[in-house]
Structure 1
Amino acid sequence: MIKYIEKGDIFRIEGVGNYAHGCNCAGAMGKGIALQFRERYPAMYLEYKQLCKEHKFCPGDVFDYDYGHGHIYNLGTQATWRTRAKIEYIEKALKQMLELAEHDNVTAIALPAIGAGLGGLRWDDVKAVLDKVSNDYPKIDLYVVETYQSE
């Protein structure tokens, strides 16, 4: 099931400790929500940066980071920070993320409007992919914050 939240902060959704976000595959987390992830989880960022440097994190991939209290799913939605996200990267990464989550018995994931901010895609197009892909994983609830707002 997907619950769309018009405004909010993915890190403040009660009862949710697993997160996902779209990121590039060039090792840069310098803007948007990626910067928040970098600041909150510096060890994850260093691992992500190394994977990118070694070309082991590519568009459509998922870097699943277990931070001890849940998972962070880094979705490879853009080749570099200079390029736009691609809907096919998002679809592939979402499927992989949900497979990983199902395997680890994750039941709730919070994420922003991936690909629609700095990624440059139309939110309605991304939303359609989210709806389609999530239908195959009814045991996993996705909490999608459409617009960031600090409380």
Structure 2
Amino acid sequence: MINYIEYGDIFALPDVHCYAHGCNCAGAMGKGIALQFRRKYPDMYLQYKKLCKDGAFKLGDIFEYRLNDEYVYNLGTQKDWKTKATLDALRISVWKMLESATKQNITAIAMPKIGAGLGGLVWEDVKYVLEAAALHFPDIDIIVVENYQQVNGI
């Protein structure tokens, strides 16, 4: 099931410890929510950057990162930071993420409007992809925060 939240911060949602976001495959996390992920998980960023440099993170791939009880799914949705995300890469990576989350007994994943910010995709198209995938994984709640808003001034 997908829950849409108009304004909020994915990192401030109660009882959610698993996150996802779209990434380029060039090793850059310098803007938008990717920069927040980079700051919150600096070791993840270093691993991601190395994967990209080695050519081991491509469109449609996922890079899973775990820190204690938190999971991050980095989804390969853009070739590089200069190009737009593709719906095919988004579709493939979302499916892989949900398959992996099922195996790990993850029941909730929070994400931004994945691929529709700096990724340049049309949000309605992305919603269709997410909703189609979610039908096959009814035990996982996907929480989409459509617009970032600081919580409690943090």
Tell me the TM-score normalized by structure 2.
0.97
Name the counterpart of 1:144: 144
Q: What do residues 9-55 of structure 1 show as CA deviations (whole Å, max 9, x unaligned)?
A: 00011000100000100000000000000000000000000000000
Structural mapping, 1:62-141, within 5 Å: 62-141=62-141
Question: Could you say what secondary structure the match of 2:65 adopts?
Answer: strand
Name the counterpart of 1:14: 14
Q: What do residues 37-96 of structure 1 show as CA deviations (whole Å, max 9, x unaligned)?
A: 000000000000000000000011000111111210000010000000000110000000
Number of residues of Structure 1 aligned to a counterpart in Structure 2 = 151
| Aligned-residue RMSD, C-alpha | 0.5
Question: Could you say what secondary structure the match of 2:144 adopts?
Answer: strand
Name the counterpart of 1:27: 27
The answer to whether structure 1 residue 37 and structure 2 residue 19 are counterparts is no
Sequence identity (%): 57
Tell me the TM-score normalized by structure 1.
0.99
Question: Could you say what secondary structure the match of 1:58 adopts?
Answer: coil
CA distance in 1, matches of 2:36, 2:59: 21
* Alpha-carbon shift at residue 106 of structure 1 (Å): 0.5
Name the counterpart of 2:61: 61
CA distance in 1, matches of 2:67, 2:74: 12
Residue identity matched to 1:36:
Q
- Structure 2, gaps ≥5 residues long: none
- Structure 1, gaps ≥5 residues long: none
Residue identity matched to 2:90:
I
Residue identity matched to 1:33:
I
**Hey, which bits of structure 1, 4+ residues long, moved more than 2 A?**
none
Residue identity matched to 1:32:
G
Residue identity matched to 1:110:
A
CA distance in 2, matches of 1:30, 1:149: 19
CA distance in 2, matches of 1:65, 1:146: 23
Name the counterpart of 1:52: 52
* Alpha-carbon shift at residue 101 of structure 1 (Å): 0.3
